[in-house]
Amino acid sequence: MSRRGPVVSKLGIISLALMLGLWGVSSFGLLLHGIPSLPEAIEDRAIRRAFKFSFAQAFASALLSIVLAIPMAYLDATYDFNGRKVLKAVVTMPFTLPTISVALSFLLLSRKGIVPPGWPSIIAAHTYFNFGMCSQILSATLASISTDVEEAADTLGASYWLKLKAIVLPLVMKGILYSFTLTFVLCFTSFAIPLLLGGPRYRTLEVEIYSLYKVFLDRKLASGAAILQLAATGLISIIALRSWPAARSKEARLRRGIPKDPFHIALLAYYCIMACLALYPVVYLAFRSLFNPITDEFSLGVYIKVLSRIFDPSLGSSPLSSLINSLFFAIMTSLTTLVAASLLISSTHRIKSLGMLISLLPLGTSSISLALGLYSIGSKFQVPGWILITFSHFLISAPFAFRSLEAGASAIDPVFVEAAETLGLDRLGATFKVLLPLILPSILVGGFYAFAMSISETSAVALLSTPETQTLTVAALKYSGVRRFQEATAISVIVCLLTWALLGLQGLVERWMKWARR
């Protein structure tokens, strides 16, 4: 463990410096105005109320998401069955939906009395949005842990519950903590869902900050509140990351056929029910995009419209160009975050933990203040909008790539990397030749979430983009702003299809890598 070449730490530091530099530059104004206004923000009753609510609902939502995700992740990582990939793709769908669609479907559910209105509906919507993401990260962590121990426990006659408690949970603790912190931070800073479902009474801090910036035009108090938000998300992440040591494994998990006992059938049934729940809003959106309420007709025409090259003055550009922009930003985000993450996990333990923490800063920073910060940088230094958007997407997606890779890497016995180093590879070489191929599922998950975060991001692009650089989500926003819902929902469906296509592509890569290894 002591042999670490100087090259290694330097490269990890590049990732760190990039993250910290970009975040620091865009949040400079926030820190400048926010820190002196902190006492004032803490005094403010509305801010205090929002803070308490943000904290409570984020904690509950994150916990619930993980509890719901564990059985799915276990099933997915341990067994192979027909349709496994499809189920997995379906439960990840909610995360890639525009949050406003999620909020609207839950509003409808609460009106029908299926979900209680107010805070329960917010927690339900947040859980719905995140449980698939948690399941994916947990499953990728589990997938790098061997089944040997469990099989030994089986032989010794351990019950399912004991096995879960004594073996599976400790092994995936790292993954649980990572997905917990991600979900917590996402829910703490959530905007569209509490805005629609909570009304003025159940407001998150992000809603309060937005209102202070935009309606009160009180930059100081808004920045003070944003610092408070940053402190809370930062504190939770530090506590979570300084915790449990990771479990190690000596070989990758081999999936086996699913046993036909009642317990496993119940697990599978549960998985299928969750998948149906996840599918419901997507089906609803797809229906809405095909149905024209004015003419009472069904047609696919709207998809031809939103993919056309013809200039649409409502957008200020052609719909096709928004697709190109979205794809560029999303691919760029996946590639850059994966490179940064790979460099980071090749570094020393200290740099890694620092990186994990720093990567959460942008996610914990209020998105409106981050976007405004980037906006003033752009206007001061004449930086083109598309470069700023690339930066902002890198910032908000990096934590997903970092966490996925690190969760996978932490389950791999360092003996492998050390052996490679003994054989003459430097640490970077060992990481790329030995470690990364072993945690391929985690890399694919990290890349996927970086892609998904970028393609569904709205608040930064809405402010930073011009018609030439606007993305699909901004186009959807503009269409729904003038109540052209068919176009808006059709775009949401296209975003879903794109993320699905990426999942399919990743399945192919995984298969090809397995084949190549043989």
Partner 1 sequence: MKWTARFILTLTIVVIVILLISYGVYQSMFKKVAENKIVIYTYESLLKWGTDPNATLQAVYGGFEEKYGCKVEIREFDDARTALLALMQEKDSPKADVIIGIDNILIHEAINADVLEPFIPPNVNDIPEWLINSLDPTHYVIPYDYGLIAFVYDSKRFSQEKMAGLTFEDLLNPEIASKLVLEDPTISSTGINFLLWQIAAYKMQGKDWTTWWASIKESALIAGSWGDAYDIFLDEAQKRPIVVSYGTDPAYSYHFYQETRYKAALVEYGGKEWAWLQIEGIGLVKGAPHKGLAKKFIEYFLSPEVQKYIPLNNWMYPANSKTDLPDVYKKYAINPLKVNLMNEILTQQEIKENLKSWLNAWREIVGG
Residue 291 main-chain phi, psi, to 5 deg: -100, 125
Q: Residues 14-53: x/- map of binding to partner 1 (CB under 8 A)? A: -------------------------------xx--x----
When the beta carbons of 179 and 333 are compared against partner 1, the nearer one is: 333
**What is the smallest separation between the CB atom of 169 and partner 1, expressed in angstroms?**
34
Q: Which two tokens stand for residue 436?
A: 């990364």
Nearest in space to 273 (alpha carbons), one of 108, 131, 104, 449: 131
Dist. CA 91–CA 494, nearest whole Å? 17
Q: For residue 357, how many other CB atoms are within 10 A of its CB?
A: 16
Q: Which amino acid is at 275?
A: A
Q: Does 108 bind partner 1 (CB under 8 A)?
A: yes
Residue with tokens 């040591």: 245
Residue with tokens 């990364």: 436
**What is the smallest separation between the CB atom of 316 and partner 1, expressed in angstroms?**
6
User: What is the end-to-end Cα distance of the chain in Å, rounded?
Assistant: 30
Q: Does 284 bind partner 1 (CB under 8 A)?
A: no
For residue 435, the 8-state DSSP code is: I
**What is the smallest separation between the CB atom of 216 and partner 1, expressed in angstroms?**
6
Identify how many contiguous H helices and E strands the chain contains and give both numbers. 24, 4
Q: For residue 315, how many other CB atoms are within 10 A of its CB?
A: 18
When the beta carbons of 134 and 476 are compared against partner 1, the nearer one is: 476
Helix or strand run (H / E) with residue 256: strand 256-257
Torsion region of 306: left, alpha or beta (phi above 0 gives left; psi -120 to 50 gives alpha): alpha
When the beta carbons of 135 and 334 are compared against partner 1, the nearer one is: 334
Q: Does 467 bind partner 1 (CB under 8 A)?
A: yes
Q: Does 482 bind partner 1 (CB under 8 A)?
A: yes
| Whole-Å CA distances, 515 to 187, 432, 438 | 40, 19, 14
Residue of 36, 165, 466, 497 that binds partner 1 (CB under 8 A): 466
Nearest in space to 271 (alpha carbons), one of 135, 387, 114: 135
SS3 (DSSP) at 292: strand
Nearest in space to 246 (alpha carbons), one of 172, 305, 312, 196: 172
**What is the smallest separation between the CB atom of 198 and partner 1, expressed in angstroms?**
9
Q: Which two tokens stand for residue 288?
A: 């809405």
Q: Does 111 bind partner 1 (CB under 8 A)?
A: yes
Q: What number of chain residues touch partner 1 (CB under 8 A)?
A: 63
**What is the smallest separation between the CB atom of 373 and partner 1, expressed in angstroms?**
9
When the beta carbons of 328 and 500 are compared against partner 1, the nearer one is: 328
Residues 410-449 that bind partner 1 (CB under 8 A): 425, 428-429, 431-433
When the beta carbons of 211 and 249 are compared against partner 1, the nearer one is: 211
**What is the smallest separation between the CB atom of 390 and partner 1, expressed in angstroms?**
8
Distant-in-sequence, close-in-space partners of 486: CB < 8 Å, separation ≥ 6:
288, 289, 291, 292, 302
Q: Residues 354-373: x/- map of binding to partner 1 (CB under 8 A)? A: ------------------x-
Q: Does 335 bind partner 1 (CB under 8 A)?
A: yes
When the beta carbons of 166 and 418 are compared against partner 1, the nearer one is: 418
Residue of 2, 313, 349, 515 that binds partner 1 (CB under 8 A): 313
Residue of 309, 380, 517, 518 that binds partner 1 (CB under 8 A): 380
Contact 48, 466 (CB under 8 A): no
When the beta carbons of 20 and 107 are compared against partner 1, the nearer one is: 107
Q: Does 180 bind partner 1 (CB under 8 A)?
A: no
Contact 12, 346 (CB under 8 A): yes
Nearest in space to 229 (alpha carbons), one of 193, 190, 176, 201: 190
Check the CA dihedral 16-17-18-22 and report its sign.
positive
**What is the smallest separation between the CB atom of 215 and partner 1, expressed in angstroms?**
5
Contact 72, 275 (CB under 8 A): no
| Whole-Å CA distances, 425 to 195, 328, 493 | 53, 35, 46
Residue of 468, 497, 501, 514 that binds partner 1 (CB under 8 A): 468
**What is the smallest separation between the CB atom of 477 and partner 1, expressed in angstroms?**
7
When the beta carbons of 44 and 150 are compared against partner 1, the nearer one is: 44
**What is the smallest separation between the CB atom of 189 and partner 1, expressed in angstroms?**
16
Q: Does 308 bind partner 1 (CB under 8 A)?
A: no
Please choose, out of 68-76, 124-132, 276-284, 475-483, the segment that lies near partner 1 by the rule CB under 8 A.
475-483
Q: Does 1 bind partner 1 (CB under 8 A)?
A: no
**What is the smallest separation between the CB atom of 236 and partner 1, expressed in angstroms?**
24
When the beta carbons of 290 and 372 are compared against partner 1, the nearer one is: 372
Residue with tokens 């760190």: 16
Residues 200-259 that bind partner 1 (CB under 8 A): 200-201, 203, 207, 210-211, 213-218
Q: Does 345 bind partner 1 (CB under 8 A)?
A: no
Q: What is the dihedral of CA 445, 450, 452, 455, to 10 degrees?
A: -160
Nearest in space to 229 (alpha carbons), one of 357, 338, 362: 362
**Interface positions with partner 1 (CB under 8 A):** 45-46, 49, 104, 107-108, 111-112, 195-196, 199-201, 203, 207, 210-211, 213-218, 294, 312-314, 316, 324, 328, 331-332, 335-336, 338-339, 342, 372, 375-376, 379-380, 384, 386, 390, 425, 428-429, 431-433, 462-463, 466-469, 477-478, 480-483
